[in-house]
A and B are shown apart, each in its own frame.
Chain A
């Protein structure tokens, strides 16, 4: 039956070429589209995770919803000692965040100020590498402040300028100081660059009476894909119902939702395209089979079962699909790999999608063999489905009717 199917695909050239080309095009586009979509989502995610948000963060319950000093972690060291025992964690750091008013000579602006551990942040986030001007924080230099470029612009500050700060300390008293602008960072995330500033944790602890306290503890994992598993382990180890450990999926809920919505619209567009391809392949198959009704009638008359006829059609589409997939997959995979290494540059895209964590005009493709494999599987499935209606159509004829079909 396979040999007959092979000969049929060579004999009915028009249908074979049309089906092979359509399958080739749909395989290529499917792989490239999914690769681009996954690549852009991964890029958004990686950028956001790199910049500031951790793969996992530990909070005291209600800190994120209510906020305030009463929801600070009171004994950060007790938690970090436990975290140090988890192998899957690459690095962690405590952060203390508060809000206050900054004033330069002429301008004032409200901003978040966070106490960070500069050396640990170099491993945890890309804050240090986002340096635009000046220098990054140093544990030993106290009243240095590291500010977002948009905030600096708002306050009209220059490197080494002084800026006054007034805010609330962790014991609800007033805290005030004059910081010197040591460095300016630019992540590309407008909101972040216009409302965030950082001071060395040891210095800020003194100012805010926040020693061993933390707004939260941020964690970087060796493998981001282990987030859920490690999070469960952390929850188990902490064993404190007053604490909550959250993965990036919860921490960046709006981004995850935006990516999911984007993916849904992407899949809808792709599905419409694939449906069109599916129907074109099916119609070509149907036209071909309609012209072969008599042939199928003869085959049925001399003893081919319905199962044999199905196998014949199945082998025909299998041969055509396999040829197309064998040609299309390496080409598409190579393109994905090439643009994974050398990302596509779409000018202005970072500006357009800056709210969603797109910080660069470069969109890398995702190169993942498993994803390519399931893309190819779907193309195969669609092609196999395309023979169902023609098969049912053939079987609607009695063998003797089919042999008389003109």
Chain B
């Protein structure tokens, strides 16, 4: 469970160009949720995702992950948290170009010290779920955008994190690939029970998720389940 209490975030604080990026955010996201942070460009949805994902800090307020406060952690502890508890899917896939699909998917598991056998089994399992099992030996630059994003999702989910944070995962995909990706992520959410949080203004994602939290000018203006 993720809990945000009075979270505020500024950019360029104290300067004339100061931006109040997040305004007094109070939220609770339960385990296994399939949720979207929505809103117009610059509304703060990516910032909120980054703050929850321990990639960015907040000036005030508290963030809890399973009762543990994560907003006050130092950089090393945040890194450990990201490695062990969170998974990330980026807009631009951000795969490691020199590693094969198989190695990319197993990369985080290897960092976390899983055995070779565990990695091999889990990589095959996730790759089959995401229908990229025939691409395991390929390098990322030989795959289509949709396939690369599926590899990124597989990498995020392989080490069984508590939460996956996906920032505009469909932004570089056509509608067909976007639909395929969302179907697969929903299946992952249901089968693996992993919480998935999106930051996007894609209508397709909005239709696919079960909860939509809308932001405007850094504040939550709407929060509904569908």
Contact = CB atoms under 8 A, between A and B. Distances in A.
Interface stretch (B21-29, B65-73, B94-102): B94-102
Interface string A365-406: 000000000000000000000000000000000111001000
B90 A305 contact: no
A130 interface: no
Interface string A4-44: 10011011000000000000000000000000000000000
B55 A295 contact: no
B198 interface: no
Interface string B47-76: 000100001100000000000000000011
B82 A303 contact: yes
A299 B87 CA distance: 12
B155 A302 contact: yes
Contact of B108 (A295, A303, A399): A303
Given A4-B99, A11-B97, A403-B94, A305 B79 contact: yes
Interface string A298-338: 11111111101000000000000000000000000000000
Contacts of B87: 302
Contacts of B84: 303
A163 B80 CA distance: 94
Contacts of A4: 96, 98-99
A364 B87 CA distance: 64
B84 to A, nearest CB: 7
Given A4-B96, A7-B99, A301 B111 contact: no
A8 to B, nearest CB: 6
Contact of B56 (A3, A294, A305, A400): A400
Nearest to A12: B98
Contacts of A3: 103
B88 interface: yes
A49 to B, nearest CB: 58
Contacts of A403: 90, 94
Given A304-B79, A305-B76, A305-B79, A11 B98 contact: yes
B88 A295 contact: no
B56 A302 contact: no
B111 A304 contact: yes
B99 A302 contact: no
A301 B94 CA distance: 11
Contacts of A308: 111
A383 B83 CA distance: 30
Given A308-B111, A398-B56, A400-B56, A302 B98 contact: no
Contacts of B88: 301-302
A36 B75 CA distance: 51
Contacts of A11: 97-98
Contacts of A294: 94
Contact of B98 (A8, A398, A399, A400): A8
Nearest to B85: A303
Nearest to A6: B98
Most chain B CB within 10 A, of A8, A10, A303, A308, is at A303
A305 B77 CA distance: 9
A398 to B, nearest CB: 7
B96 A301 contact: no
Contact of B82 (A10, A302, A306): A302
Contacts of B86: 303
A301 B46 CA distance: 14
Contact of A400 (B50, B79, B83, B155): B50
Nearest to A298: B94
Contacts of B96: 4, 295, 298-299
Contacts of B112: 303
Contact of A303 (B50, B56, B83, B90): B83
Contacts of A7: 98-99
B180 to A, nearest CB: 23
A301 B55 contact: yes
Interface string B100-141: 000100011001100000000000000000000000000000
Interface in A88-146: none
A368 to B, nearest CB: 41
Contacts of A398: 55-56
B95 to A, nearest CB: 8
A287 to B, nearest CB: 18
Contacts of A399: 55
Contacts of B107: 302
A295 B88 CA distance: 14
A1 B112 CA distance: 12
A3 B55 CA distance: 27
Contacts of B50: 400
Contacts of B80: 303, 305
19 contacts: A3-B103, A4-B96, A8-B98, A298-B96, A301-B55, A301-B88, A302-B87, A302-B88, A302-B107, A302-B155, A303-B79, A303-B111, A303-B112, A305-B80, A305-B83, A306-B76, A308-B111, A398-B55, A399-B55
Closest 10 CB pairs of A and B: A303-B83, A7-B98, A298-B94, A400-B55, A11-B98, A303-B82, A305-B79, A400-B56, A400-B50, A8-B98
Given A7-B99, A302-B155, A403-B94, 8 more contacts: A4-B96, A300-B79, A302-B82, A302-B107, A303-B86, A304-B111, A305-B79, A399-B55
